[in-house]
Amino acid sequence: MRKKIKSSDELPLNHSGKEYNFFENVFDVVLQIPKGRVTSYGAIAQYLGTKMSARMVGWAMNASHQSSKKIPAHRVVNRNGMLTGKHHFATPTLMEELLKKEGIAVKDDTVVDFKKIFWNPKESLNV
DNA sequence: GCATTGACGAAGG
DNA sequence: CCCTTCGCCAATG
């Protein structure tokens, strides 16, 4: 079940007064990524129904740093399997190290066998 | 309140 | 096949 995040506490509230289902869902999905698997921003966006809003997923990851929850953002890469978000971690190498620690091979800032270990939220969550 | 910027992605040249 | 443009939506200046 998706625990509702207190917008005023975890995330800033939209000026339009709109609910942050998007961010909530993003966190929820990312938290469910199995260890040793990765997914992409676009896949998450697709699961949320707005495939064109992949950028917002990345933005949510950025917001995940401020969130109390520990979001395994290192398991989220771009569609290419590239660690584009590594620069947003504490250290540029942290993301890669975390992935390697989980058994994910990383070469040249890209997840090896990305397609194999790719985790599709749409399938796993049985939409 | 408008303009610019993103941890993206697909499409067009 | 590489580079550019556009779309998406929220945050920031």
Q: Hey, where are the domains in chain A?
A: 14-124
Q: Are strands A110-111 and A106-107 parallel, antiparallel or unpaired?
A: antiparallel
CB A76 within 8 Å of CB A41: yes
pLDDT of residue A123: 80
**pLDDT reading at A3 higher than 70:** no
Average pLDDT in the A96-107 region?
95
Question: Tens digits of per-residue pLDDT, A82-92?
Answer: 999 999 999 99
**Looking at domain A14-124, which of 1.10.10.10, 3.90.1010.10, 3.10.580.10, 3.30.930.10 is its CATH number?**
1.10.10.10
Determine the nucleotide nearest to A23 by Cα–C1' distance.
Answer: C10
Question: Tens digits of per-residue pLDDT, A22-62?
Answer: 888 899 899 999 999 999 999 999 998 787 889 999 999 99
The answer to whether A54 CB sits below 7 Å from nucleic acid chain B is yes
Span CA (A55) to C1' (C6), Å: 14
**pLDDT reading at A11 higher than 60:** no
The answer to whether A79 CB sits below 7 Å from nucleic acid chain B is yes
CB A63 within 8 Å of CB A11: yes
A79 vs A11, A68, A111, A119, A120, CA distance in Å? 26, 27, 11, 12, 12
Entry pTM: 0.84
The mean pLDDT of chain A is 84
Q: List, chain by chain, residues whose CB lies under 7 Å from nucleic acid strand C.
A: A 11-12, 14-16, 18, 22, 50, 52-56, 59
Would you place residue A65 in the very low, low, confident or very high pLDDT band (cuts 50, 70, 90)? confident
